[in-house]
């Protein structure tokens, strides 16, 4: 009975989130969300996602409310049924145009990358996206909209997997654990070892003198810019 009740609750939640999307009145709606606007290192990951409503994926929610293990499981189920596009915006672009503009550029590219052009994009709070698709910015859309929550999971899992790969390349920063966010251990590592090519110079300028960072040297040696 407990298992049945749990499944019913998950189904009701999925139906409520799908109903939120349906009430917006679009023939084809996509959700758009990002992961990684705040970290000191790594790309920002952006996803646009269209989900079918006939076979709901139970457990979908704002990615921040889910454990890493749960996100991984849901990711595999979502990508089996979704039309989705993920765009990664690199550190150079983030430093060059700022994180907000980089996020908006990624969202525009993700929407354009869908197999079928949507009539409406529900975006988690971000305004001013340069796209010919109508956008509806909604605060906490990733907790309300079925498609946007699915997009948040894809974006998060994609980025987390990449950060685990970067941890192998640059193990001194703890990317597998901190995912590039500014934990004390991560900041201490930046002060000790300098920056690696994945660090956002505009984000770490308060911790080290970024004018002395030589990424060409880092690329040649395969190590961080130790000083």
Range of the domain at 145: 2-161
62 and 150 inside one domain: yes
Say if residue 198 is exposed, middle or buried (CB neighbours under 10 Å; 0-12, 13-18, 19+).
buried
- pLDDT by residue for the chain (227 residues), tens only, comes to 444 445 558 899 999 999 999 999 999 999 999 999 999 999 999 999 999 999 899 999 999 999 999 999 999 999 999 999 999 999 999 999 999 999 999 999 999 999 999 999 999 999 999 999 999 999 999 999 999 999 999 999 999 999 999 999 999 999 999 999 999 999 999 999 999 999 999 999 999 999 888 766 655 555 555 44
pLDDT at 216: 67
Which residues, 6+ apart, have CB-to-CB distance to 68 below 8 Å? 160
Q: How many other C-beta atoms are found inside a 10 Å radius of the C-beta of residue 219? A: 11
Q: Among residues 161, 176, 210, which one ends one of the domains?
A: 161
**Are 78 and 150 found together in one domain?**
yes
**Angle at CA of residue 197, ends 194 and 203, nearest 5°:** 70
What local confidence, expressed as pLDDT, does residue 150 receive?
Answer: 98
> Based on the domain organization, do 107 and 200 belong to the same domain?
no
Supply the CATH number for residue 94's domain: 3.30.420.10
Evaluate whether residue 62 is within a structural domain: yes
Compute the distance between CA of residue 1 and CA of residue 107 in angstroms, rounded to an integer.
43
Strands across the sheet containing 120-124 = 83-89, 44-50, 29-35, 120-124, 134-138
* Whole-angstrom distance, CA of residue 203 vs CA of residue 226: 18
| Same structural domain, 126 and 194 | no
- Asked if the structure places residue 227 within a domain, the reply is no
The domain boundary, picked from 115, 143, 161, lies at 161
Residue 110 inside a domain? The answer is yes
Do the domain assignments include residue 66?
yes
pLDDT at residue 227, as a whole number: 42
Same domain for 192 and 95: no
Q: What's the pLDDT score for residue 1?
A: 42
Among candidate residues 137, 161, 185, the one where a domain is terminated: 161
- The confidence score (pLDDT) of residue 222 equals 52
Does residue 226 fall inside a structural domain? no
Model pTM score: 0.91
209 contacts: CB under 8 Å, gap ≥ 6 = none
Task: Kindly state whether residue 98 falls inside one of the protein's structural domains.
Answer: yes
83-89/44-50 β-pairing: antiparallel
Q: What was the pLDDT predicted at 214?
A: 76
């Amino acid at each position: 009975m407990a298992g049945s009740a749990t499944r019913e609750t998950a189904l009701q939640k999925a139906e409520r989130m799908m109903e939120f999307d349906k009430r917006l009145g679009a023939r084809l709606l996509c959700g758009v969300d990002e992961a990684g606007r705040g970290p000191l290192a790594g790309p920002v990951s952006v996803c646009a996602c269209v989900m079918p409503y006939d076979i709901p994926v139970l457990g979908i929610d704002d990615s921040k409310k889910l454990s890493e293990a749960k996100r991984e499981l849901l990711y595999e189920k979502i990508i089996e049924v979704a039309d989705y596009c993920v765009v990664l915006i690199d550190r150079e672009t983030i430093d060059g145009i700022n994180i907000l503009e980089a996020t908006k550029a990624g969202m525009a590219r993700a929407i354009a990358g869908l197999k079928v052009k949507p009539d409406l994009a529900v975006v988690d709070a971000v305004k001013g996206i340069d796209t010919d698709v109508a956008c509806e910015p909604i605060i906490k859309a990733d907790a309300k909209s079925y498609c946007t929550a699915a997009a948040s999971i894809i974006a998060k899992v994609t980025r987390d997997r990449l950060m685990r790969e970067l941890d192998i390349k640059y193990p001194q920063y703890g990317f597998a654990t901190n995912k590039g966010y500014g934990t004390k251990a991560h900041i201490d590592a930046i002060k000790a070892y300098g920056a690696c090519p994945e660090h956002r110079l505009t984000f770490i300028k308060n911790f080290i003198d970024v004018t002395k960072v030589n990424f060409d040297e880092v690329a040649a040696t395969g190590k961080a810019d130790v000083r």
